[in-house]
Copies of this chain bind each other. A is one copy, B any other.
Amino acid sequence: MEYCFGVDIGGTTIKIGLFSQKNRFLEKWEIPTKKGKDPKPVINDIAEAIEECLKRNKLKKEEVMGIGMAAPGPVTEDGLLRGAVNIGWGDVLLGEEARKIIGISPVLIGNDARLAALGEYTFGAGKDEGSLLMITLGTGVGGGVVFDGKILTGKTGTAGEIGHMTMNPFETRSCNCGKKGCLEQYASATGMVRVAKEFLKKSNEPSTLRRLDTITSKHLWDEAKKGDKMALNIAEYVSRLLGIAIANACYIVDPEMVVIGGGVSQAGQFLLDMVQGAYAENVFPHCRDKKFALAKLRNDAGIYGGVALVLQRDELVNKHKQTMKKMLNR
């Protein structure tokens, strides 16, 4: 019982990582995600990939202490995945199903953004902190809250969904989720591009962004860094909404650290400083010096988070066993 797997199921690929119990990363690889209503083909693919990996490394199933699995949807405390829209799944007891098919126990599951937060908390940017809020800026905006080593899941698995906080109650356009004015509409990669196009349309001000055939969020941040005034205005606008959303979240949970991850966060310290500045302008004076950091595990945060989930459970079980032992020895 010395190894464990972290699995991160995404809309297009599934990342799988093999780790030793000593938190050492051994290998990782990706397989494509079979979209559809039935999760079984996906679980079968994961089972096959894991079996091959075990064979390759001459390991037995009995040496695996568990699998931690990140899924792209809300997951309740009871391990119910409440649908994964990007893949096509409805409600599924994913851990239970996976355990039966793969033949390794336990299979613990969590929402992908929440597990990324746990990954950063345990092995990444937040490894010296007692609590953190993570926000991931990608195609959408995800998030997770970790307090005292535990993911805050909430009643319906929604805790941490900072991307769907309403930032503009007067917005007339709809978010992918159906409601209006969500942070994601401005601060996701696609949201930033939409905001950029609006800014460009509204004025005739020259901008290097106008020379591009298609604008991406990367272009936006690159041009802002180079000093293009229009790009800078757009970056400031979206950073302000991000800073306010983080401030709003901190008025509810007030963690020790805020970690920013996801593809867009590759704009680096420049983006971090802008968002942190906007945060500081929108909180009580005594909360202004909160630690902000960029995510460290990048695309691997989910598999690291899955592993953290397994190690956490093992630790709990061991603690319990040790207490029992002590009690029996007295």
| Interface residue ranges, A against B (CB under 8 Å) | 74, 82, 131, 145, 147, 152-162, 164-170, 177, 179, 240-241, 244, 247-256, 281-284, 286-287, 290, 326-330
Contact = CB atoms under 8 A, between A and B. Distances in A.
Given A177-B284, A252-B160, A241 B169 contact: yes
Contacts of A248: 165-166, 248
Which secondary structure characterizes the binding site on chain A? loop
A170 to B, nearest CB: 8
Nearest to A163: B251
A251 B162 contact: yes
Contact of A284 (B160, B164, B256): B164
A284 B147 CA distance: 24
Nearest to A329: B330
Contact of A156 (B147, B152, B241, B254): B254
A142 to B, nearest CB: 11
Contacts of A168: 169-170
B327 A158 contact: no
29 contacts: A74-B284, A131-B154, A131-B155, A152-B252, A152-B253, A153-B254, A154-B250, A155-B255, A155-B287, A156-B284, A157-B254, A158-B251, A158-B284, A158-B287, A159-B251, A159-B254, A161-B252, A161-B284, A162-B252, A165-B252, A167-B169, A169-B241, A169-B244, A170-B170, A179-B283, A252-B252, A327-B327, A327-B330, A330-B330
A328 B241 CA distance: 57
A24 to B, nearest CB: 31
A203 B282 CA distance: 33
A198 B147 CA distance: 42
Contact of A249 (B131, B177, B252, B329): B252
B255 A156 contact: no
Contacts of A169: 167-168, 240-241, 244
Given A158-B287, A169-B240, A252-B249, A179 B327 contact: no
Given A165-B248, A169-B168, A247-B166, A159 B326 contact: no
B282 A179 contact: yes
A224 to B, nearest CB: 20
Contacts of A241: 169
B74 A255 contact: no
Nearest to A160: B252
A248 B252 CA distance: 9
A281 B160 CA distance: 19
Contacts of A162: 251-252
A285 to B, nearest CB: 8
Given A74-B286, A169-B167, A252 B177 contact: no
A74 B282 CA distance: 17
Nearest to A180: B282
Most B Cβ at <10 Å: residue of A82, A248, A330: A248
